[in-house]
């Protein structure tokens, strides 16, 4: 079931309240959209696919990472579909951003709701360069859209492709194939700093464990796993 709203505080809250099976909420505008770790998601009305999916599953805290990398692959593949034939390169920035040429095209938020995952995706479609002036300066420097990238596209076409791709990737039983798809779009071997569970971690990113999270070799030599739900990348 898919429902479209002209305006809502948050599609994530609508999907969270849904009782029953698979469900998708779409909105033209969110007045209180949110991202990971309490951050706000800002998009001018009518400029983005704003969607949340209620995905019934037997979920434990650690399985959120399994869902996160599958949805990231689905969003990246959707971006590649609409940017086909261009020189723009799509990347997955762990844990939740889809980047094109280093700027954010889409973001992902995954939360628990009883026996379901609530999967939020914001995907910039028709955002125009002149509309960047209406965004906070720090945000305006970091975002892009299909229109800015020279591929003006109907938002419903993007939403339909995104929903179909998410369904396909969430139901795919071939975990190794999905991990390879993630690795192909997410560079490894780089050094970064993270905050996870209130602790700062500095080290080299080695790989991704689909259940436990990002695998990092700390500067001390210790191998740690950083779960997506509670980890943020530090500048």
Q: pLDDT digit string (tens) for 32-56?
A: 766 554 556 677 889 999 999 999 8
Q: Which residue would you say has higher pLDDT here, 225 or 139? A: 225
**Position 63 pLDDT exceeds 90:** no
For the chain, give the mean pLDDT. Answer: 90
Regarding whether 176 and 125 lie in a shared domain, the answer is yes
Regarding whether 227 and 161 lie in a shared domain, the answer is no
Q: Which three-class secondary structure state does DSSP give residue 168? A: helix
The total number of structural domains in the chain stands at: 2
Regarding whether 110 and 174 lie in a shared domain, the answer is yes
Which ranges of 145-225 would DSSP assign to H, the alpha helix? 155-170, 175-185
Q: List all residues 6 or more positions away from 138 whose beta carbon is below 8 Å from its beta carbon.
A: none
- What is the reported pLDDT for 131? 82
Regarding whether 177 and 138 lie in a shared domain, the answer is yes
- What is the reported pLDDT for 224? 96
- What is the reported pLDDT for 141? 84
Q: Which residue would you say has higher pLDDT here, 89 or 64? A: 89
Q: Do 90 and 185 contact (CB within 8 A), yes or no? A: yes
Regarding whether 19 and 72 lie in a shared domain, the answer is yes
Regarding whether 12 and 110 lie in a shared domain, the answer is yes
Regarding whether 59 and 22 lie in a shared domain, the answer is yes
* pTM greater than 0.85: yes
Regarding whether 171 and 195 lie in a shared domain, the answer is no
**Position 60 pLDDT exceeds 70:** no
Regarding whether 81 and 134 lie in a shared domain, the answer is yes
> What CATH number has the domain bearing residue 106?
3.30.930.10
Q: List all residues 6 or more positions away from 47 whose beta carbon is below 8 Å from its beta carbon.
A: 124, 125, 126, 127, 128, 131, 145
Regarding whether 100 and 162 lie in a shared domain, the answer is yes
Q: pLDDT digit string (tens) for 115-153?
A: 889 999 999 999 988 888 777 777 778 899 999 999 989
Residue 102 belongs to domain spanning: 2-185
> What CATH number has the domain bearing residue 206?
2.30.30
């Amino acid at each position: 079931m898919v429902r479209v709203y002209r305006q809502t505080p948050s599609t994530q809250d609508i999907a969270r309240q849904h009782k029953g099976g698979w469900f998708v909420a779409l909105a033209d505008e969110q007045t209180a959209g949110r991202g990971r770790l309490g951050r706000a998601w800002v998009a001018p009305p009518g400029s983005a696919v704003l969607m949340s999916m209620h995905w019934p599953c037997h979920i434990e805290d650690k399985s959120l990472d399994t869902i996160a990398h599958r949805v990231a692959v689905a969003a990246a593949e959707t971006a590649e579909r609409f940017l086909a034939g261009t020189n723009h390169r799509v990347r997955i920035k762990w844990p939740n951003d889809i980047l094109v040429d280093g700027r954010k095209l889409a973001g992902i938020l995954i939360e628990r709701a009883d026996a379901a995952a609530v999967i939020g995706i914001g995907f910039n479609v028709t955002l125009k360069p002149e509309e960047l002036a209406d965004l906070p300066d720090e945000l305006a420097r970091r975002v892009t859209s299909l229109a800015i990238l020279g591929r003006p596209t109907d938002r419903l076409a993007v939403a339909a492709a995104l929903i179909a791709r998410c369904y396909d990737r969430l139901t795919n039983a071939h975990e190794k194939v999905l991990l390879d798809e993630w690795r192909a779009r997410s560079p490894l071997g780089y050094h970064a700093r993270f905050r996870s569970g209130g602790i700062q971690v500095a080290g080299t990113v080695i790989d991704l464990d689909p259940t436990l999270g990002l695998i990092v070799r700390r500067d001390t030599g210790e191998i740690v796993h950083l779960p997506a739900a509670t980890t943020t990348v530090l500048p």
